[in-house]
Structure 1
Amino acid sequence: MLPDRRKLRLAWEEFVNTGKVKGGIIRDDILASWRRCRSYGLDPFTDCIITDISEDAKEKAFAENNNLIITARPFLRSLYNLIRSLEMVTFLTDRDGFILEVLGEGPILKYAQSKNAVVGSSFNERYAGTTAVGMAIIMDRPYQMMAEEHYLEMIHVATCAAAPIHDDSGNVIGCLDITARYEVGLKHPHTLGMIVAAAQVIENQLKLKEESERFLQTSEYLKAAMETMSSGLIILNKDNLITHINPEAERILGLDLSTVSNNRIDEVISNKTVLSSLANNTELHAYETILQQSRCLVDLKPIFDPRGERMGSVLHLQEVKAVHKLVQRVVGMQSQYTFQDILGKSKEIEDVIKLGKAAAETLSNVLIVGESGVGKEILAQAIHNASPCTKGPFFAINCAAIPRDLIESELFGYEAGTFTGGVRGGKPGKLELAEGGTLFLDEVESMSLDVQAKLLRVLEEKKFLRLGGAKYLYLNARIIAATNKDLVKEIKKGNFRQDLYYRLNVLRIYIPPLRERREDIECLIQRFIPEISKKLGKEIKGITDEAYEYLKNRYWPGNVRELKNWIERAINLSQGPLLKMTDFPVEDALESDLVLTTHTEGPKQDISALHQIEMETIRRTLELCKGNISKASRNLGISRATLYRKMERYNISLSTYVS
């Protein structure tokens, strides 16, 4: 029930004349403001707002609030477009009530101008008395006032609703206000809800802008991040009738204001959770659901007047795909490698790069095969960065690193309530997050057969369900898989599905192990030494010939990754500008027959060939060391006893090499 204007007028007159008023008529916070106005010596009968703000102070205020003005201006325009036919005026002020922007037209604007409620003036309590702007700023909450609650008599014709605007730290930096004639305000009780929603959108926009500048500091990302703030707003009155709906909400719901204005919300949205929250006057925060074929995050906030009566509600809709884009840019993996980062001068590695570039020109599935440490993910990232998906995200999953009972939810995601202890509201999977980009499945052979079957279906049908979900999501991501095993053998063992193998093996790229392209070792060493030296803050200029020959002739079961780790370890231990033999380990975990004889499950491996390599390596090393067992064992990275045992195995005579 609205206050009795006659009683308000009598209370105002009593206070103006005596400085006192009977309790129960005027709100306590308004009465406190009246008292402050009286202490300032403010004339309640003044016919316009009089300020003593200098021109320099005005220029300073505009300059300090330039970011607020620029950010708020499009939202003020949108808000004004909603109310322009209702004889209302919109004001934007700074944290002190200084008027920065005014939008309005007609008699109400002319009246405001005649009372000096214009840009460059102020609603500060010292100048304009008790106003909704002043109360919202002082009390730091949305505020609505009407008629004789204002201290200045000239404002008794109006009703005002204002909401403070906060920065990222929660400090008040400005205020939004809608002012209308008292009679107009009675017809539109939703104005406070509108102003609160607009202030919240401006705060979110300011926050996004601040975060974008802080973390990425590029105009391109700022533009992309601002686009994610394009969200839908629906204003409801106390009877849940739609009074306003913005263009983005129209687009999301496929509606038009002309067809849904004054319709009940349950005629547009049928979601039971949303309707139940409306009926019970409860809030929703980031509730994920599907509205008219669009997966959205829904925020619902009921708006109450100062007496606690619900005046209406604000529905905020944000498409999940917009949130996903932000997640992809902020927390998704960044693909940093290109084909220029794949080092080597061997024909084998040139063939790998050639095939990779060809794969990048298409969106077909790719299967990368190679031993652990050869650089399969680097190649996958290079393909992604050279492909049409380069502007999209790059997500990688190591299928062997995730427990088999969790890999399915990691891939497909899950809906709310699917798991006890799951993320509230559900969680998108990597297939969903990788939209428009690339999903890299490393060690794909580690997937269980049932997950393999589901992945096969996704690749065939290009759509999938979240766990516990009922609506299909469409796959819009490029799949690159990798393995360090012979999948044909795994198929024969019953560990891998043959149909999935054929589906993945559209473009197959084999990366040879390092020992099959030893001429690439020099390129890798030349890249790793300066790169790692810089990281460790050391000045290593190169490597001795002896140490280089030692590295070149190792078997490298861990391939490029192992070589890089050895270089890093040597740089840490080095005391001079060149890496020497003494900087590399004499013994390591591979000492017992592993350095020269270990083989992996990668293609092209043959036991007899490995023994031949081992024998030739020992002979070459003994020749280089002129039969010095200690030096030869150190170069080979094995013990003297191991070297003697291998010489006996291959019938190698030491006397042949002794000078």
Structure 2
Amino acid sequence: MVSMQVSPVSRSLVDDCSPSVSETGVSHLDGFLKTFNLLERPRQAWEWMRQTLQVPAPDEWVRDEVARSWRRCIEDYQLSSSMDVPVSELKKQHYPVDEIIAPDATTGMVACFQRAVASLFLNDGLMLYLADSRGQVLSTFGRPFDDYTRGSQLTRHVVSWNEQMMGNNGIGSSILCGKPAAFCGEEHFLRLLHPFATAGYPLFGADGKLEWGLGILSDQRVDPGILKTMTVLVGGGIQRDFLDAQAAGIASKKPASSSANLRLQQSNAVATEVCHCEGAAGDETLERVVRLQKHRIPVLVIGESGAGKEHFVRKAYEQGPRASGPFIPVNCASIPRDLIESELFGYASGSFTGARREGKPGKFQLADKGVLFLDEIGDMSLDMQSTLLRVLENSEFYPVGATAPVRVDVQVFAATNVPIGEAVKAGRFRRDLYYRLNGMQVVLPPLRSREDKRALMDEVLRREIMRSNLPGNLFLGDEVIALFMRHSWPGNVRQLSNVIRCAAIIAGEGVIGLRHLPGDFIAEIETGSQGIEICMPALGPVPPEDDDGMSSRYASGSLIAHEKKAILSALQIAENNITRAARQLGITRATLYKKMTQYGIKA
């Protein structure tokens, strides 16, 4: 290896530009040397290499990664004559005319890349590339460079980042070496890349073979270390998504426009994935949520009231790595505004009048090493949102009246049934808290729009049979299924569960028919009400049933009769235990006592 000698001109430049330590202090000198090492040393080294066609010694003037790549360009690729090639001649001079022959799995990788950047917001002058193992560009994303700029010309002419054609660059070098790479300015061998910074991340197939590369191109002089970190964050996410999709056999699915939401800045990257939870896709989403718990990434669950948000979170908790820890649910809408801080964070001894002498731990502290479920997060006050944001950022908080912070290890799930995006735009919900909670977003569709509604009915019935210890030979009749499929279900899965529970208890065994359905549910269908409480008149005679078991007219008396029969059946199954009977009916003990008094039922 030929060592680079420092010329008198180079030494005079250093001497002339270096400030005196006594004048500016050590910190100013350190800043100058960092800038000099990043910009001036590679510039002088590149000029020296261009004149001598020799590679400078690594570490002394350029990084070892740069020196080795320059050596490949000179000795292996014979690119010395192309150091000053203009952009306009790049394609004509370098690129082969053969077509890109991508492996079958490339379709899946492109889909993963597009999913990752579907809602991506980049700084101006920042482009992302996906290339195959030869550096041929498969897909790009980013804001176009301004017309007539060097960046615009580069993106128009470059169709391959192969190191043999483009010299060293982030994506080409990372594919060649099989590890992340980044270069800035004059660290590139070809002059046409000097105005840019590039970085790359290798991507592997399911068999462990290097097949693709992710690249970033910036028209700003970005520290290679920062750019490499950005590429690792984005590329690592794409790699995990691809391997998961390959394992699940769905890598070739087309990306949905809202399936990923990634915000990328010059200094950091934050990923947000949006998953619609239904059927097989719901199982896949659950698996991803379970994996995210290992890294304490918050999950935001969105869905209408009764859509099963808490059920989904509990299922993720039970299957996740924190199943041995506590599960603490909190309904943010039900806690008075003046008490929510003490409820979430607890309070110290003697912090206020009426406080316990020993103090009280809050929900965050109770959920340590476990899961905290913040339901109805959209109803939280703005001042409390600010406090919650600080806790999520550093996992530390001060109980009310305390002087020392408490640190916890908590996985946070949040849920809301309000349009949280509209709340952010209207200023009712903090934008920074939304992004903090929205590590992954799970959307639970309403029951009326679910394609797996039929299968869900059987699953709910099976669960209620086990829950209420009913005979296993209970089935939904065809008329009931047809009615359920047509209904709009304003109460969603919660309403479906209550209706099936009540009907199953009344039927006892065999086929559940229309005559077994709760009276208020039938009244809701007939009146077209959307979950409004039905007022029952006095008890009257039960009209005769038709051949299909359905009353010819659902008179008011039959509704009362159904309700009374359901209560008697529940009490019999629960052996007159009021708590168990109320749980089977899906009502409170107080409501059950009130109904028993109204109908003259004694336990």
TM-score w.r.t. the length of structure 1 is 0.40
Structure showing greater radius of gyration is 1
Query: What is the TM-score of this pair, normalised by structure 2?
Result: 0.43
Higher relative contact order (CA 8 A, sep 6+): 2
